[in-house]
Amino acid sequence: MRLHISAISRSAISRAAFAVLIAGSALASSAQSAPQWDYEGRNGPLLWSKQDPAWKACNKGEQQSPIDIRGAKLNKALQPIELHYVAGPVTLVNDGHTVRVNVDPVSFIVVDGTRYDLVSYEFHHPSEHTVKSKLSDMEVDLIHKSADGKEAILGVLFDETIGNANATLASLWPHLPRSAGRTDKVTDMVNAGGLLPADRGYWTYEGSELTPPCTEGVKWFVFENPVSISRDQYNAFANLYKLNSRPLQVPHGRKIEANE
């Protein structure tokens, strides 16, 4: 009887092991077949839409970001952005394309009476946007979403200087995850408002997300005044990502407005 039970047990174990092997193979196959994208090479920006039909807007859309900011028209009716940023712990994520900072959903902005909650912010080197064809050393994009899923993104340009370290980056940079897939939690109180310039004049236009699927309908607000960061702060990120910015997109006659 013991032999019979042992045989059944071995058979059950074999079937279970086989099922696990099949499931593992399916997951590996799924991971390998998932669409890939990058900022250079055969998976670079010019070919993003070929990686996945859902990414068609990346190369076929007419309201894509980033763009060169020039010829902005003053619109005195544009109101200042209401900023309601609260300090709190954050988590830094190296996703293989950038370092993203995830925040607790307590900070928000108000634009034209609509509230947009701060979801995360991410860094790019060099800047995504240019001003009259001039690149900045880096850019941080603060991503906000409204209750109905609409996006508003604040873009801040960074200029590297010998001194003038940014206090908020000084809190974040010791926790930079050095490799893709790594995360690090900052338990100190970090306020994203410390990444914004003192003068909050901005340019605004209708654009898109910067990465696949490149969804359009995003309200962009790029601050006119850059923020200074130190050479050490610049180098710390540039050594991680030598290039993680998307090429400029065709404006297709889009209106760029300035609030001051």
Lookup: tokens for 85:
């940023």
Same domain, 22 and 83: no
CATH code for the domain of 204: 3.10.200.10
Q: Is residue 145 part of a domain?
A: yes
Q: What is the dihedral of CA 201, 118, 140, 218, to 10 degrees?
A: -70
Tally the C-alpha atoms within 13 A of residue 50's C-alpha that lie toward its C-beta. Answer: 7
Same domain, 90 and 208: yes
Same domain, 181 and 69: yes
Looking up tokens 């998976």 gives 43
205 with 131: CB under 8 angstroms?
no
Same domain, 23 and 100: no
Q: Calculate ∠ Cα 168-116-202, nearest 5°.
A: 65
Which of 95, 232, 124, 89 is CA-nearest to residue 173? 232
Which of 151, 139, 160, 143 is CA-nearest to residue 67? 139
Domain that holds residue 89: 64-258
Question: What are the residue numbers of the active site?
Answer: 97
Residue 33 pLDDT: 60
Whether this model's pTM surpasses 0.75: yes
Q: Is residue 174 part of a domain?
A: yes
Q: Is residue 45 part of a domain?
A: no
Confidence band, pLDDT 50/70/90 cuts, at residue 16? very low
Q: Is residue 35 part of a domain?
A: no
Q: Is residue 70 part of a domain?
A: yes
Same domain, 22 and 72: no
Task: Count structural domains, the chain.
Answer: 2
Tens-place pLDDT, residues 210-220? 999 999 999 99
Tens-place pLDDT, residues 119-144? 999 999 999 999 999 999 999 999 99
